Amino acid sequence: MMFELGISTLNITKKEIMMENNELGVLKVILSNNDAIKENEDDDVSKDDDTSSKLSINLDNKKRPFLTKQNVKMVKILYVLLANIEKLSDHPPMMNPFKIEKQETYIQLLLSKLLEKNTKEEFESEIENNKIFLKIEYTNENENEIDKSDVISEVELLKLGESSFSQIKEETIKTLVSQLVIVYDKVLQQHIDVEMKRRKSFRDYINFLSIYRKIEIYCNLYKIRIKGQTIKNQVSNKIVEYSQQKIQHNDLKIIIKAAKRIED
């Protein structure tokens, strides 16, 4: 994760964060006492104002002469995450798109839960019973790993005599190419799987909207109309009631909104 962010070194204490970035150089963030994120308060992660931290930046021969607010926000998030990393489950949960619309909201909630819980077990229990998060089940990643023992090492290859060197070299390259083809096929299949899931997701949204509209039609059928009851509220209340509250009012708003965007 640090490599992807361009971070080469990172030292964190309770008072400051010292980070070396490939583009920005050495960054030093001095944390004030109110940098901790609390669930029941407006936290610094969600604010655009970065006046709670003082920055001391050494930018020798670097392209960018300043640290942006977004950079400060990223450092603070990373600080809280790493300071509580032992509580994080082996497979961090995904956000539930029916409960949370923005990625930033998910990050804030995840960090607040990490700070709120004292142990990994408490955090995992919270995630298990919290509908705003989706637990991810991973298959054994070692099952599909390629057996690299089939290939002779470079050192061992160079030890061979001239008579067998060229032949073993070509056989090794052929073996590596065959392994490459296997991975290539997997990459293509994953792309196909992702695209199929994306298309199915679109169809599911449209189907949801279609059924929702049918419910609207039936709710709009009256022999004697009851005054003071709108169709929209009636539909929403019926769905919540008959789904045994599995689908909530806010879920409906988010899904219908997304479905209408797809439909358009």
Q: Which of 97, 87, 77, 100 is closest to 126 using CA atoms?
A: 87
The pLDDT, as a whole number, for residue 129 is: 79
> Is pLDDT above 90 for 215?
yes
Residue 85 has a pLDDT of: 80
73 and 37 Cβ atoms separated by less than 8 Å:
no
pLDDT at 242: 94
Structure tokens at 234: 């009636």
In terms of residues, how long is the chain? 264
Query: Within 10 A of 214 (CB to CB), how many other CB atoms are there?
Result: 10
- The DSSP bridge pattern shows strands 94-95 and 54-58 to be unpaired
Q: What φ, ψ does residue 20 adopt, rounded to 5°?
A: -110, 120
Do residues 100 and 131 make contact, with C-beta atoms less than 8 angstroms apart? no
How do residues 127-158 score in pLDDT, each as one tens digit? 777 878 877 765 555 555 666 667 888 888 88
Domain locations in the chain?
7-134, 145-264
Question: How many whole angstroms from its chain centre is CA 87?
Answer: 17
Q: Is the dihedral of CA 97, 101, 102, 105 positive or negative?
A: negative
Query: Is there a contact between 134 and 97 (Cβ–Cβ < 8 Å)?
Result: no
Q: How far apart are CA 264 and CA 260, in angstroms?
A: 6
Once rounded to an integer, what is the mean pLDDT over residues 205-213? Answer: 93
Q: What is the pLDDT of residues 220-260, one digit of tens each?
A: 888 777 777 788 888 999 999 999 988 989 889 989 998 99
- pLDDT bucket at 31, cuts 50 / 70 / 90: low
87-107, pLDDT tens digit by residue? Answer: 877 777 788 877 777 778 888
Q: What is the pLDDT of residues 152-164, one digit of tens each?
A: 888 888 888 888 8
pTM score, two decimals?
A: 0.46
Are the CB atoms for 250 and 99 separated by under 8 Å?
yes
Residue 170 exposure: Cα atoms within 13 Å on the Cβ side: 4
